[in-house]
Amino acid sequence: MATIIAIANKKGGSGKTTTATNLAGAFVARGYRTLIVDADGSQASAYSWRRTGEGAGCCYEVLGLQSTNVRNFLKAALTVDPYDVVLIDCPPRDPGEKDGEVLRNAVLVSNAVLIPVMPSGHDLRALIGFLQWLLAVREGTKPELDLLAFINNRDARTNSAKGARTQLMLNLAGLPIRVLESEIVHREQIRRTGDTGLTVFELARDSKGANEYISLREEILKWLAATSERAAAVLTSAPTSAGSTSAPF
């Protein structure tokens, strides 16, 4: 079965598309067939990113979401072409708004929600309302849903940014949300991935940025494997052969 991860944060500018694209590169580097579902639709979406790097032989696939019914869209996509990992690049929307339907549906079909958090007091405060909604979904509709947060685009030069993970853990103390140890630091080679349409693995395979995404990938897989048999299959199996994957619907 494909493991499906929604990359979501209702606040724009948190790095969802950068995370989806480079994490896709990290999964491909480990040998897994990886699909990004672009559910954002904005100009700076995963789909436009992929098209920018098209001539360079990008290593992952992207499908633009054609419907608010994410479940049926994924079911059809995985029937035609099996993948080991599906990353959903979610729109920055308040799930309570009318146009938050895509975000709600993406979360409901996923094994886990991965939340990139910028290391600023404003971003940490803005996260609370979104997490309250996710917890309500988990408690009322999908108790098996894993919630994973990590610090993204941290400035290595400032002491306040260095303490952002500790502050995030304090803010979430007692809640069933895992704050990952892996952090993505603000680096030039990661910034350039958006300009080139490539992943950091294609642009600078042996760089510190690439190693940070490898660390993030491994931590996600280990956490999911400990809590989900479906994710454990991805962690332990060889890359999928055609026709061997069935979608979790």
- Of the two residues 59 and 199, the one the predictor is more confident about is 199
What pLDDT, on a 0 to 100 scale, did the predictor assign at position 229?
58
Are the C-beta atoms of 53 and 198 separated by less than 8 Å? yes
Are the C-beta atoms of 113 and 135 separated by less than 8 Å? no
Segment 172-202, tens digit of pLDDT: 899 999 999 999 999 999 999 888 888 999 8
Are the C-beta atoms of 224 and 112 separated by less than 8 Å? yes
Alpha carbon distance 25, 21 (integer Å): 6
What pLDDT, on a 0 to 100 scale, did the predictor assign at position 34?
94
What pLDDT, on a 0 to 100 scale, did the predictor assign at position 231?
45
The pLDDT confidence band at residue 46, using thresholds 50, 70 and 90, is confident
What pLDDT, on a 0 to 100 scale, did the predictor assign at position 111?
93
| Range 204-212 average pLDDT | 95
The pLDDT confidence band at residue 58, using thresholds 50, 70 and 90, is low
Segment 102-136, tens digit of pLDDT: 999 999 999 999 999 988 878 888 888 899 999 99
Helix (H) or strand (E) holding 21: helix 16-29
CA-CA distances (angstroms) from residue 212 to 152, 182, 190, 201, 216?
Answer: 10, 7, 10, 11, 6
Alpha carbon distance 150, 116 (integer Å): 5
Is the pLDDT at 88 greater than 60, yes or no? yes
Residue 13 has which token pair?
A: 């500018």
Is the pLDDT at 150 greater than 90, yes or no? yes
Are the C-beta atoms of 176 and 135 separated by less than 8 Å? yes
Domains and CATH numbers, the chain: 3-236 (3.40.50.300)
Alpha carbon distance 182, 101 (integer Å): 30
- Nearest to residue 156, comparing CAs of 109, 110, 188? 188
